[in-house]
């Protein structure tokens, strides 16, 4: 099991935006949070193997009152997309997550916002 923390407020997955020319993009705050997750995973030396390997994920989102109203499902989407950014060069896909262990939101003081993540291979 690998455990790591992403400092800063958890950012929910925002809908992709479409420009008048038809180009779509992910909003910058969402993209920056996903990149922060990927960096934290790299620093923790998380190994995500491609193929028929399943993973379990446990996550705790610590939010100040300002961010409390965000939907937990959109927080989970950002988290999985961040892990996907990290694992993509190795052929890993977020569809390999076979179990989410009780994702939770916790209220915390401003300045102590963070995301705590645990990842391990699931028994299949």
Closest alpha carbon to 55 in 92, 86, 82: 92
Q: What is the CATH number of domain 2-121?
A: 3.30.1330.70
Where along the chain do its domains lie? 2-121
> CA-CA distances (angstroms) from residue 67 to 14, 26, 37, 70, 86?
14, 20, 18, 6, 25
Q: Show the tokens assigned to 32.
A: 């920056």
Q: pLDDT (tens digit, 0 to 9) for every residue of the chain, 124 residues total?
A: 999 999 999 999 988 778 788 888 788 999 999 999 999 999 999 988 888 889 999 999 999 999 899 999 999 999 999 999 898 887 888 889 999 998 999 999 999 999 999 999 997 6
Q: Provide φ and ψ at 34, rounded to 5°.
A: -60, -40
The whole-model pTM stands at 0.90
């Amino acid at each position: 099991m690998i455990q790591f923390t992403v400092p800063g407020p958890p950012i929910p997955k925002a809908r992709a935006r479409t420009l008048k020319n038809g180009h779509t993009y992910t909003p910058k705050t969402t993209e920056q949070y996903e990149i922060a997750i990927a960096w934290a995973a790299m620093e923790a030396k998380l190994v995500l193997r491609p193929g028929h390997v399943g993973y379990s994920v446990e996550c705790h989102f610590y939010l100040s009152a300002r961010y409390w109203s965000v939907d937990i499902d959109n927080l989970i989407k950002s988290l999985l997309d961040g892990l996907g950014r990290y694992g993509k060069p190795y052929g890993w896909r977020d569809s390999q997550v076979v179990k989410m262990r009780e994702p939770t939101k916790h209220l915390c003081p401003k300045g102590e916002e963070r995301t705590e993540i645990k990842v391990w291979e699931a028994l299949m």
